Structure 1
Amino acid sequence: MYFIYPSRELRQLDKALILFADIEWVKLTLVEMCDPNQIYIADVHDFLNHQWDCPTVVIALEDEGAALSQAWQKGALAGWIWEDLPEQPFDKLQQIEAQYKRNQDSRDLPTAAELQRRLLPSPEQFQQYQFKYLFQPTAYLSGDWIDFWQVDEHKILFYLADVSGHGVTSSLLTSWLAGFHKRAHSPEHLVLKLNEMLIKENIEKHITMIAGMIDLESHQLQCINAGHFPPALHICKGQEPQIFHSSSFPLGLTEDLKVEKVVVDMHAESQFIICSDGALEPYKGGINDQFQLLLQDLQAGNFNPPAQVNDDIAMLKIIRSAESHD
């Protein structure tokens, strides 16, 4: 922290010298050379006249309320009175600094959200298969995650994950998940490796996940559900949709994780859909009612989430085109 030596004469300055004896005092002419991330303490007139951008606590005389108000409008963190300085200013300054840092974190959220989005894969076409997704956080950052990549010439690995809880911690884990891009060669390898690392690091978060791999030649899709709801769906024209419920625990709960693999034949004009539980939020009723309404809309191609949602929504569709070589 820095105390900026006031440019005007103040009879209260002697008391301030004692109260702020442990703070570095700086001449006004040297302000620009100071660390801009530190908290400044300065006379209100110096702050208004020189307009620096650093976080500042201003001090005014008791009849300078208008100047204090103007300083707050210019971005001052707090205002004190020269005639009534706090007896324990460091306690107050620590509170002000903590609040300032929290506010800075909030201001950084849009940038953090943009960085998170840049880690997502680009929608892509692999031969007859189109990979499309929806990613809609409820706030800036999401605890849901989607990824897919080409394992070899004919196989595409994919997953959708939902980190427990909300907030920055959950969203940070999605960045950790993004680090597994192209580091797994099968759904089993991905799920078991992630589970092992969550247990080892004792992060105290669990992750539900649907992971799968599609063979572009055989048109077979393998899928594993690790404690995730809603279940994966296979929608094929003229047929009842297939629903693949989970019999596994989420990742991060037990070392002895047992997973079951299902195999889906991807016929022409069929689609495989996985989504996070936020996709249920637009619908009324109990969870089963919500799922049935979601399924109806997905079958009809009518899923349109509202702009404002109460939970993160992530959805991945793998669509096989009408062209067929069966």
Structure 2
Amino acid sequence: MNRMEQIARLEQENIDLKTELGLLRQDQEAGYLVQQRLLPANGTCHLGLQLHYWMRPSLYLSGDFIDFWALDQQRVMFYLADVSGHGASSAFVTILLKYLINRYALEDQASPARLCARINRELIQSGLEKHMTLVLGCLDTAKGQLTYTNAAHLPPPLLLEAGQARPLAGRDQPVGLFPEAEYHEQLCDWTPASRLCLATDGILEVLPGKGLEARQEEWFRRIEQAEGELVTLLDALPGSADDWPDDVTLMTVSAQPNANR
């Protein structure tokens, strides 16, 4: 092969590479749009409760996912999931998760523990070799009660009341990793002044502090300072989100302003 042929070959390979990258980018952008369409609208209200969230994927697609919906006339369900890994494969699992929870929520009587056990079995049987941490909860507005299961999720959910952030108790095994995993439900009171604050563990990677415990304490402190308001909290976070190494999702559930109680 002479020099001119080598140059022509390299130019063609460069064109082919650019074409493949363009197609890959189009696929990622299409996947991003699909995933975004499956998310609840920011500021969604159900039964006097309001959802606010902020989601930043490290790539086009996120392994983090949330949902928030009215199950009946007095109960609202929600979850925050963090699937292992990054990118398309993790994002596909978030779509499967949404399908499974919507399918089984009523069948399992809106029990967070039963739902976690069911999703654990389904995910292991799927052979996808993916697992997730998950906070799954049910808020009963008539009883003023929050029922939830924490499947290995860090940082733990925080209940903010009277300016004090309290980590909610309980932490079970991840979903999709151990066939015999058991999940348990925790209960706590819920008042019109309560605010639930959740985040995926990507937030701990951008906070100062030596070690996991110190960074969690820093997170609790910042939640209290911001009074659980996402805009205030985001303004106080260090660095640029473009430089963060992991998916990061923040989520709050609180009383809808001026809601009839």
**Aligned match of 2:251:** 316
Q: Looking at secondary structure, tell me which structure has more helix per residue.
A: 2
Separation of aligned partners in 1, 2:5 and 2:177: 62
Q: Which residue of 1 aligns with 2:35?
A: 116
| 1:243 to 1:61, Cα distance in 2 relative to 1, 3 A | closer
Q: CA shift at 1:144, angstroms?
A: 0.7
For 2:184, give the aligned amino acid. E
1:204 correspondence with 2:124: no
Q: Is the 8 A contact 1:294 1:303 kept in 2?
A: no
Shift of residue 290 of structure 1? 1.3
Write the deviation string for residues 101-130 of structure 1: whole angstroms up to 9, x where unpaired: 465223421222122111111131123311
User: Which position in structure 1 is the counterpart of 2:88?
Assistant: 168
1:145 aligns with 2:75: no
Query: CA 1:247 to 1:62, structure 2 compared with 1: closer, same or farther past 3 Å?
Result: closer
Counterpart of 2:190 (choices 243, 266, 270) is 266
**How far apart, in 1, do the equivalents of 2:5 and 2:257 lie?**
79
Whether contact under 8 Å (1:147, 1:181) holds in the other structure is no
Match of 1:294 among 219, 232, 237: 219
Equivalent residue, structure 2, for 1:307: 241
Name the larger-Rg structure.
1
Residue 256 of structure 1: aligned partner: 180
What SS class does the counterpart of residue 134 from structure 2 fall into? strand
TM-score with structure 1 setting the length: 0.67
Structure 2 portions without partners, runs of 5+: 227-231
1:244 to 162, 168, 171: 168
Do the aligned partners of 2:83 and 2:90 also contact (CA within 8 Å) in 1? yes
Alpha carbons 1:269, 1:321 under 8 Å: kept: no
Q: CA deviation at 1:256?
A: 2.1
**Residue 45 of structure 2 is aligned with which of 125, 129, 136?**
125
Q: Which residue of structure 1 aligns with residue 114 of structure 2?
A: 189
Tell which has more relative contact order, 1 or 2 (C-alpha 8 A, sep 6+).
2
For 1:104 and 1:144, the matched residues in 2 are separated by 24
Alpha-carbon distance in 1 for matches of 2:77, 2:131: 22
TM-score with structure 2 setting the length: 0.82
**Deviation for aligned residue 1:288:** 1.3
Contact kept? 1:77, 1:100, Cα under 8 Å = no
CA distance in 1 between counterparts of 2:67 and 2:14 reads 45
C-alpha distance in structure 1 between counterparts of 2:251 and 2:143, whole Å: 21
Alignment partner of 2:241: what SS?
A: coil
Find the residue that maps to 1:241 and give its secondary structure: strand
8 Å CA contact 2:64, 2:80 repeated in 1: yes
Residue equivalent to 1:62 = 4
- Residue 178 of structure 1 and its aligned partner are, at CA, apart by 2.5
Cα pair 1:268 1:320 within 8 Å, conserved:
yes
RMSD: 2.9
**Partner Cα separation in structure 2 for residue 167 and residue 246 of structure 1:** 29
Give the drift of 1:169: 1.3
Q: What is the CA–CA distance in structure 2 between the aligned matches of 1:149 and 1:181, rounded to whole Å?
A: 11
Give the match's secondary structure for 2:32.
helix
Structure 1 gap ranges (5+): 1-59, 80-95
Partner residue, 1:230: 155
Equivalent residue of 1:106, what SS?
helix
Aligned residues: 244
SS for the counterpart of 1:175 is: helix
For 2:14 and 2:259, locate their aligned partners in 1 and report how far apart those are by CA, in whole Å: 69
Alpha carbons of 1:77 and 1:314: their partners in 2 closer, same or farther (altered >3 Å)? Answer: same
